[in-house]
Structure 1
């Protein structure tokens, strides 16, 4: 079985492609865990932290097909930059709101934008 993988990785550019994909997919699994850990630590409310992580995942489920359709229609370069900018802005906004102990309801919009704007790099 490993011989098949070795043969695949011998092709030029395969290792770089795999490495980039691996790194880009890590946040997909780490964000919900991070949201639960930091929000529950700051607020003491595990239910709200879990609900917020669920909202992030649900928004990602809605946003991924929308972004994919936009990429198909307009091309990667015209969609990825604005989506990445929105994602980074939402991550920063959520981090700032949590660090300054903002009202819990203010955590919801950035979490939704984070999920909606997260890029499904595996299909790109």
Structure 2
């Protein structure tokens, strides 16, 4: 199975729709077999669900995420673990061990604002759930 993580400099990137990279982990029997960083090639928001489907990801770990992207991921059959922050590798290990702290309510609902970097860096939070 493949698990994707929104990724920047070893950390979980906090705005799904603006992530430029995913780290994709191949896992089997609770162990990480391999991992690699893939570039989204400028795909944004809804297109990222198709991108994840294309790389074979069955689960996504991310920070904040909007409702449209949630729906697109659900339609693509990608299991969502949102509201996670910190080290990407540690988050995947925690998921595999059944101890990942995540929020099914994590939201980025401020679309239309100018985004620079991670959620929370632009003067407001993602529904209070960006993990920041």
Task: Note whether the superposition's TM-score is higher than 0.5.
Answer: no
Greater share of helix: 1
TM-score calculated relative to the size of structure 2: 0.24
TM-score calculated relative to the size of structure 1: 0.25
Larger radius of gyration: 1
Greater share of strand: 2
Larger relative contact order (CA 8 Å, sep ≥ 6): 1
